Amino acid sequence: MFNERFWFIVYLILFFLLSLSVVKIPVGFEARVGQIFLLLMFGFILLYDARKRTLNIKILSYFLISGLIISLISKLSTYEKVGELKFIVKYLFIFPAAFYVGMKMFQFLSIRKIVAVFEISGIIYGAFALFLNIHPIEAIMHIREGLEGFQGTFYEPSGLAEAIGLVFISSLALRSQFNLWDKPYYVFSVYVFLLIIALLTKNKTIWISLFAVMIFSIFYKLITAILLEKRVSIFKDIYTSTLENLKKISILRITVILLTFSFLLYLYNASLEEPIISKEILEEKMETERGKAFFKTVELLEKSNWIGGYGYGFVEAYFSKARDEILGLGEGVSMIFNSYLDAWLSGSIFKIL
């Protein structure tokens, strides 16, 4: 009834609408149009799966039970909270919907079509970023004084950088895994365009993330290639073969690759007026931003006997009134910099487990 072309178009629409961070519809609180479309799509897929009797009850039950427990923990917290309802909605509906819809993407679309969704979405993000930088449209973009770099339809440049980085890495990973290099000039052009857009955001963190992912990918591909190439027998010699091949990994080869990537990152870092990383930047972040937030979060966790569970919205309520100011935290910021510590602080140790 619904062919691959239908799902391909639907997923493209979803990826585009999720980028419209300032387009919201009031539903008790302001919900992004992309989130509403995601929930509608989730409901549609649930009905579709129920009709075909392919509904994944285990995953749905897991998210429902976990969401209810986390929401109950937050509700039982007596600390002041800001915007708690939106977090409960996210954990009960948005996050389960995102996971289920994303999982079904690999059922409804071929790998080539999934790659196409990533790459076309990245091109659309980049095209809007270029256009809106010349002709700003307040209805679909967040305009704030002091922001530098292209941001497109995202709330700020870092959002665009993260989205570009995500579609780039996802595309690269799938093309590498399934050897989809039959159109090298097209792929090269798309990747160059995406990296140029990432540069225009002037976001620094994305390059560290991309570098780390690339290093991990090199290790993964290198080790798996050697293991698969030399494996003798799946049943008899698997353990012996694995150990032998791990020993045969070329340390020189790995070292050359790491040094090459490190050198390129160093050259790029040195060419910037404001480097991605330097001793001064690290010291500043430790004293006024991420480092300071880290130690304050640990202090709050210690006060709770390492249980956490202060509730969702506590971070904004607490840091907006804190005497000791921390850059990047306060009014309008509902999460701390480290997602794991934030989960622990707000949702308790249960959420980490």
What pLDDT score was predicted for residue 249?
Answer: 46
142 vs 155: CA distance, rounded Å:
5
Highest mean pLDDT of the ranges 101-115, 246-260, 306-320: 101-115
Q: What is the pLDDT of residue 1?
A: 63
pLDDT at residue number 97: 94
pLDDT (tens digit, 9 = 90+) per residue, 150-208? 889 998 888 899 999 999 989 988 888 888 888 889 998 998 899 889 888 887 777 77
Query: What is the reported pLDDT for 329?
Result: 77
Q: The dihedral of CA 62, 159, 86, 75: what is its sign?
A: positive
- The percentage of the chain sitting over the pLDDT mark of 70, rounded to a whole number, equals 81
pLDDT in the model for residue 115: 96
* Burial 21-58, CB ≥16 within 10 A → b, else e: bbeeeeeeeebbbbbbbbbebbeebbeebeeeeebeee
At 292 the pLDDT is 80
Amino acid at 169: I
Question: pLDDT exceeding 90 applies to what percent of the chain?
Answer: 27
Return d(Cα 28, Cα 89) in angstroms, integer: 11
Collect all residues with Cβ–Cβ distance below 8 Å to 96 and sequence separation of at least 6: 42, 60, 63, 64, 67
Q: Tell which wins on pLDDT, 242 or 76.
A: 76
Among 130-134, 198-202, 230-234, 272-276, the range scoring the smallest mean pLDDT is 230-234
Q: Provide the pLDDT for residue 243.
A: 46
pLDDT of residue 89 exceeding 70: yes
Closest CA to 325 of 292, 297, 303: 292
CA atoms of 39 and 298, how far apart (whole Å): 35
Residues 6+ apart with CB under 8 A from 253: 222
Cα four-point dihedral sign 19, 25, 31, 33: negative
Whether residue 143 contacts residue 136, with contact meaning beta carbons closer than 8 Å, is answered with yes
What pLDDT digit, counting tens, does each position of 239-269 carry? 444 445 544 444 455 556 567 656 766 776 6
- How distant, in Å, are the alpha carbons of 72, 80, 106, 171, 256 from that of 120? 40, 43, 17, 10, 34
Distance separating alpha carbons of residues 36 and 303, to the nearest angstrom? 38
Contacts for 124 with CB less than 8 Å, ≥ 6 apart: 15, 16, 19
Contact assessment for residue 4 and residue 110, using Cβ atoms and an 8 Å cutoff? yes
pLDDT at position 234 is 44
Q: What is the tens place of the pLDDT at every residue in 2-57?
A: 889 999 999 999 999 999 988 888 766 678 899 999 999 999 999 999 998 888 89
- What residues are paired with 32 via a beta bridge? 24
What does the pLDDT average to over 108-123?
96
pLDDT attached to residue 313:
87
User: Which H/E stretch holds residue 25?
Assistant: strand 24-26
pLDDT of 289? 73
- Angle, to 10 degrees, between the axis of helix 33-52 and the axis of helix 4-18? 150
The vertex-19 CA angle with 14 and 23, nearest 5°, equals 100
At a CB cut-off of 8 Å and minimum separation 6, what does 199 contact? Answer: none
0.75 exceeded by the pTM?
yes
Angle, helix 290-303 to helix 339-347, in steps of 10 degrees: 30
Give me the pLDDT at residue 16, please. 96
Higher pLDDT: 75 or 220? It is 75
Is residue 176 within 8 A of residue 221, CB to CB? The reply is yes
Q: How far apart are CA 333 and CA 330, in angstroms?
A: 6
Is pLDDT at 281 greater than 80 in this prediction?
Answer: no
Say whether pLDDT at 235 is over 60. no
